Amino acid sequence: MSRILKDPRLLLLIAIVVAVIVGLGSDQMNLYYRGVAIDIGIAIILAVSLNLINGHTGQFSLGHAGFMSVGAYVSAMITLALQKSMGADDLTWIFLPALLAGGLVAALAGLLVGVPSLRLRGDYLAIVTLGFGEIIRVIFQNVEAAGGASGLSGIPRMTDLAWTFILAAFAVYVVGCLVNSTYGRGFLAVHDDEVAASSMGLNPTRYKVTAFVIGAFFAGIAGGLFAHHKTTINPQVFDFMKSFEVVVMVILGGMGRTAGVILAAILLTLAPEFLRSVAEYRMIIYALVIIFLMIARPQGLFNFARKKKSLAP
């Protein structure tokens, strides 16, 4: 059993099989529960991809929603265009290529944002990524083809449970394997001490940009899933709050701890649903919880294991 658990490819396979089986059974599910489950899957992809940037590589990014919006818009525009030109036929075959295209364009955006801004550190980087996220939003607000401020609507509802969780498993697998590979130790080295890493012959900038591009790619995929789940998107959805939500997932999960981050993503997606009865106090409670946790448990909610290995401040 433990050998099975140690082989990531087998785990991925198991996760995909489970996702497909659950997905096949999801037709029987209550629509509301299914919607929340898909939200959770999307949140997991977002959180795990940001975890590669924020947690493993230590580059504080506040612009994840920007990359998500790129993926959402690109994939939605592709499916909408195809739907128009080919009628409302079966479009399932185009879904995955559209998602991939969204992810790739988002990755390109990640490269464009990453190369100049990753020269900065700490809160300067945070504010620049925030700025880029806002600029991406302002651009979408002004592009006619993207529907301007009212956004896109009537996107075909193609995101289902199986696709969401297959892609979530895939994101966890890629990020997990990447970080645990020989090459991937470089991410942790850059996180722990950039100067020491570069004196060991690693190229910190390269690692940072790689993390940024891969993170942005998965954020784009998540955005595509999101667009085809909600069927309407507008620039307002992908504002600073959305980025911050993902950052909170990563921090509560314990920066760089994949299992914790997944748990936090599940918890933070479920929490608003449970707080529906006190909806008017929901965001107040949310803010208070963040402040309290930062004071009481800054290392993350699900970070029980040994002390942080890193000695760098």
Partner 1 sequence: MNEIFQQLVNGLALGAVYALIAIGYTMVYGVLRFINFAHGDVFMLGSFTGYYLAQQVTKWIPLPSWSGWMLIMFLTMIICAIIGIVIELLAYRPLRNRPKLTVLITAIGVSLLIEYTCQHQAIFGASQKAFPKLLPTGNFTLGGLSFNTTQFVVLGVTLVLLTVLTFIVKKTRIGMAMRAVSFNSAAASLMGISNSFIISFTFGLGSALAGAGGILYGMTYTGIDPLMGVNVGLKAFVAAVLGGIGNLPGAALGGLVLGIVETYAGGMSGMSTYRDGIAFAILIIILIFKPTGLLGSKQIEKV
Which spans of this chain sit near partner 1 (rule: CB under 8 A)?
60, 116-117, 119-120, 122-124, 126-128, 130-132, 134-135, 138-139, 141-142, 195, 240, 244, 247-248, 251, 280-281, 283-284, 286-288, 290-291, 294-295, 298, 313
Cα-to-chain-centroid distance, residue 188: 19
Closest to partner 1 by CB, 89 vs 144, is 144
Closest to partner 1 by CB, 161 vs 251, is 251
Give residues with Cβ within 8 angstroms of 296, minimum separation 6: none
Provide the minimum distance between the beta carbon of 61 and partner 1 in the complex, in angstroms, as a whole number.
11
HSE (side-chain half, CA atoms, 13 Å) at 305: 10
Q: What is the rounded distance in angstroms from the CA atom of residue 192 to the CA atom of residue 207?
A: 13
Closest to partner 1 by CB, 24 vs 288, is 288
Q: What is the rounded distance in angstroms from the CA atom of residue 163 to the CA atom of residue 127?
A: 34
Beta bridge partners of residue 233, listed in sequence order: 152
Closest to partner 1 by CB, 130 vs 174, is 130
Closest to partner 1 by CB, 243 vs 269, is 243
CA–CA distances in Å: residue 182 to residues 7, 64, 109, 185:
16, 27, 27, 6
Single-letter code of the amino acid located at 207 = Y
Residue 172: closest CA among 54, 52, 53: 52
Q: What is the rounded distance in angstroms from the CA atom of residue 16 to the CA atom of residue 167?
A: 9
Closest to partner 1 by CB, 126 vs 221, is 126
Provide the minimum distance between the beta carbon of 258 and partner 1 in the complex, in angstroms, as a whole number.
19
Determine whether 120 is exposed, middle or buried from the number of CB atoms within 10 Å of its CB (0-12, 13-18, 19+): middle
- Output Rg (C-alpha) for the chain, integer angstroms: 19
HSE (side-chain half, CA atoms, 13 Å) at 159: 31
The DSSP call for residue 56 is I
Provide the minimum distance between the beta carbon of 101 and partner 1 in the complex, in angstroms, as a whole number.
25
Provide the minimum distance between the beta carbon of 256 and partner 1 in the complex, in angstroms, as a whole number.
12
Residue 180: closest CA among 95, 257, 93, 273: 257
Provide the minimum distance between the beta carbon of 124 and partner 1 in the complex, in angstroms, as a whole number.
6
Closest to partner 1 by CB, 128 vs 152, is 128
Provide the minimum distance between the beta carbon of 142 and partner 1 in the complex, in angstroms, as a whole number.
5
Closest to partner 1 by CB, 17 vs 283, is 283
